[in-house]
Amino acid sequence: MIGLDTVRVVLVGTLYGGNVGSVCRAMANMGCCDLALVAPQNLDMDEARMMACHATDILDSRSVFDTLADAVQDCSLVVGSTAREGLYRQHVQSPREWAPRIVEAAGAGRVALVFGREDNGLNNEEIGLCSHLVRIPTAGYRSLNLAQSVMICLYELFVATGRYEPPAEKSIEAPSGVRERMFTMWRESLLAVGFMQADKADHMMLGVRRIFSRGRLTEDDARILMGVARQMNWLAGEWRTLTGEPPGRMPAVPATPNESGD
């Protein structure tokens, strides 16, 4: 399976060490480790180290270049991130659009993701060195924090690798037989505790079924719900023993402020 170990993150003219550190952490989150700085501007490395958190190894192994051309000379694709519009920035795509293409290229060779200065982005010469341009979709305020931009791009690439496997619930979805046993127990216990009368039971149970069928219901869930039914049933039996009668119906009460929506 392809990872992001052939993806180089290139930061051009970065001003703030905190951003470089945050980029390192995002890289570690998404399985990427090749960081290149181009002409960094007196970075505060203490701040970088603090924001890198447990990703200081990426910070320590960074390479530094004088020019963008030097930093990307061994890369097949060079993808530049830009928030600005303009003649030479028309062929931008969103990270999701280009992610499969980049991942494919990263399987065959090295690719570079290039991010510009916090205040001024990439200049036209640097844009010219990029084979592809990306713009992160925004709702209004278009300028993202540098490390946030890197995170979204790497996240899209990581998802595109297909390496992410969703955590499987350990308890499987309850099979129909288990669900029906559970509903039978609920029917009995709702009758036993006096919640419903026999002539209304079929109708009421349709409502109960609907409630428990809205989402996934696992075997664990069904077991818990069967336990509730068993307890209701038991309590109704105890009541009957104590009083000689089945439980009655509770008197109607005015809705509480919360239930009436206040």
Chain residues that interact with its own copies, rule: CB under 8 A: 3-4, 18, 22, 25-26, 28-32, 51, 53-55, 85, 90-94, 96-97, 135-145, 147-148, 151-152, 155, 158-159, 163-164, 166-167, 169-171, 216
Phi/psi at 119 (nearest 5 deg)?
Answer: -95, -25
d(CA 82, CA 102): 17
169 vs 238 by CB, closer to its own copies: 169
Q: How far is the CB of 229 from its own copies (least distance, A)?
A: 22
Buried b (16+ CB within 10 A) or exposed e, 189-216: bbbbbebbeeeeeeebbeebeeebeeee
Angle (CA) 175 177 178, round 5°? 70
List Cβ neighbours of 134 (8 Å cut-off, separation of 6 or more). 79, 80, 81, 82, 92, 93, 94, 95, 98, 153
Q: Name the minimum Å distance from CB 126 to its own copies.
A: 20
Least distance (Å) between residue 36 CB and its own copies: 19
Strand pairing category for 77-81 and 7-12: unpaired
- Shorter beta-carbon distance to its own copies: residue 109 or 237: 109
Q: At what angle do helices 146-161 and 95-108 cross, to 10 degrees?
A: 60
16/195 with CB nearer its own copies: 16
Nearest-approach distance from CB 258 to its own copies, in angstroms:
9
Which lies closer to its own copies via its Cβ, residue 119 or residue 199?
A: 119
Residue 4 or 178 with smaller CB distance to its own copies:
4
What minimum distance in Å lies between the beta carbon of 29 and its own copies?
5
| Backbone phi and psi for residue 132, each to the nearest 5 degrees, phi listed first | -140, 150
Q: Which is nearer to its own copies, 237 or 255 (CB)?
A: 255
To its own copies, the closest distance from the beta carbon of 137 in angstroms equals 4
Separation CA 252–CA 254 (nearest Å):
7
